[in-house]
Amino acid sequence: MRITPCPPFPLAVVISVSLLALIVLYSIGAGSFYPWCINQCGRLILGIITVFIAASVPLNFWKKHAYVGYAACVTMLVFVAVIGKISMGAQRWLNLYFFNIQPSELMRISMIIALARYFSDLGISTITKTTTLFFPLLLMAVPVFMVLLQPDLGTATILFCTFVAMLFVCGVQVWKFVVALVGVACATPLLWQMLHQYQRERVLVFLDPTLDPSGAGYHVIQSQIALGSGGLYGKGLLNGSQCQLNFLPEKQTDFIFAALGEELGFIGCTAIIVLYAMLLIYNLGVARRSRNRFNQILVFGINAMLFFYMFINISMVCGLLPVVGIPLPFFSYGGSALMVLLFCQGLVFAADAEHKAQFGIKR
């Protein structure tokens, strides 16, 4: 394997987002590197190494082993259901003694790779046949069902939304989406009953946070207070009252965007969104330029996943969507999500490098 140099601009964007995250984690940790900042720094270093390794492996390798990787992730989800570690009422982690791993994070990219292989092997005319959708529906439904059992509505939502986006870009007719949407609407009462009680409460609180201000609505209310109090320039690092006095829950993970808004204000929030936008535009350009159908579908799927990560988390924090467990890409504290997302970005760099090598374009 020959280490491939990553394109400097998008790599700099990813590193900039991650470094800003370290600054925020240091600040909301009351000016201490422990426990969040130092741990995330170590994970970031390993993640950057992962980016270069992923960028150096030919994408055909992942295509060849797509179904094996998918099966391995499904197997890990089964182990989670049987012997998984329970934390905060959810059974989502496998204890590997030296560290914990969240297989649902690996499932996101393995599903994308498996779907990219399936659709890249089909002709355009074949994709329009309804029967060709049965297998990809199975590829999506199995992990979504198993992730919902954990329960993890956020990851299940990401899996489903990414799947729909990939169907659209692969050429599935619009009328099929309309039929599916009508079917989901008709099944809403059944889906409502399948939700856990706390998930139903989150939906109701989303409609009116004052229904339970000290319970299910507490997260959203405190998040909105933090964002609103930051103003244009923010209160400054180490000066956010909601963060420093621990009013803001999950301030280092799901609600870190609210912590950013309180301490660095509207300018800080805008800066991170602009960085995300530049990365998404770059990834979309790689997908559009690629002449390899597998690479094209893979990169688009990764980009769609990143977009849904960002959109759902920020909307959740602002009270525009119900609260679900979705981290902010490259920003929220956590090992599994950061490593997988950096690996995914490495795959995008690999697709870009293969395109440039094919057409003799200088990097």
Percent of residues, the chain, with pLDDT higher than 70: 93
Task: Retrieve residue 242's tokens.
Answer: 């909601």
Per-residue pLDDT reduced to its tens digit, 146-173? 888 877 888 888 999 999 999 988 888 7
Query: What pTM was estimated for this model as a whole?
Result: 0.90
How high is the pLDDT of residue 277? 96
CB contact at 8 A, 230 and 240: yes
Q: Can you give the three-state secondary structure of 195-222, one letter per residue?
A: CCHHHHHHHHHHHCHHHCCCCCCHHHHH
266 is a domain residue: yes
| DSSP string over 285-306 | HHHHH---HHHHHHHHHHHHHH
Closest CA to 7 of 356, 360, 358, 247: 356
1 is a domain residue: no
Q: How many domains does the chain have?
A: 1
Using the predicted structure, report yes or no on whether residue 356 has a pLDDT greater than 80.
yes
Cα–Cα distances in Å, from 137 out to 77, 81, 131, 140? 18, 22, 10, 5
CA-based torsion, 86, 91, 93, 96: positive or negative: positive
CB contact at 8 A, 225 and 217: no
Per-residue pLDDT reduced to its tens digit, 299-336? 999 999 999 999 999 999 988 888 887 899 999 988 88
Per-residue pLDDT reduced to its tens digit, 4-50? 667 889 999 999 999 999 999 999 988 888 888 999 999 999 999 99
Beta bridge partners of 95: 100
How high is the pLDDT of residue 48? 92
Which has the higher per-residue pLDDT, 358 or 250? 250
329 is a domain residue: yes
214-240: buried (b, 16+ CB within 10 Å) or exposed (e) per residue? eebbbbbbbbbbbbeebeeebbebeeb
DSSP state of 130: G
How high is the pLDDT of residue 87? 65
CB contact at 8 A, 77 and 147: yes
Mean pLDDT over 91-95 rounds to: 75
Dist. CA 250–CA 219, nearest whole Å = 8
Mean pLDDT over 239-251 rounds to: 87
227 is a domain residue: yes
Q: What size, in residues, is the chain?
A: 363
Per-residue pLDDT reduced to its tens digit, 208-221? 777 677 776 788 88
Beta bridge partners of 87: 90
Using the predicted structure, report yes or no on whether residue 199 has a pLDDT greater than 90.
no
Dist. CA 97–CA 240, nearest whole Å = 36
Task: Retrieve residue 211's tokens.
Answer: 């229904």
Using the predicted structure, report yes or no on whether residue 100 has a pLDDT greater than 80.
no
* Average pLDDT of the residues of the chain: 86
How high is the pLDDT of residue 185? 78
363 is a domain residue: no
Of these ranges, 33-37, 225-229, 359-363, the one predicted with the greatest mean pLDDT is 225-229
Q: At what angle do helices 66-83 and 103-120 cross, to 10 degrees?
A: 150
What is the span of the domain harbouring residue 110?
8-358
Torsion of CA 334, 335, 336, 340, to 10 degrees: 110
262 is a domain residue: yes
Residue type, 32: S
Closest CA to 201 of 310, 107, 284, 322: 322
Task: Retrieve residue 126's tokens.
Answer: 């074949």
53 is a domain residue: yes
Both ends of the chain: CA-CA distance in Å? 19
37 is a domain residue: yes
CA-based torsion, 105, 256, 269, 44: positive or negative: negative
- pLDDT interval class at 132 (50, 70, 90): confident
CB contact at 8 A, 314 and 328: yes
| DSSP string over 78-113 | HHHHHHPEEETTEEEEEE-SS-EE-HHHHHHHHHHH
Cα–Cα distances in Å, from 232 out to 38, 63, 71, 99, 304? 29, 47, 48, 40, 30
How high is the pLDDT of residue 14? 94
CB contact at 8 A, 286 and 55: no
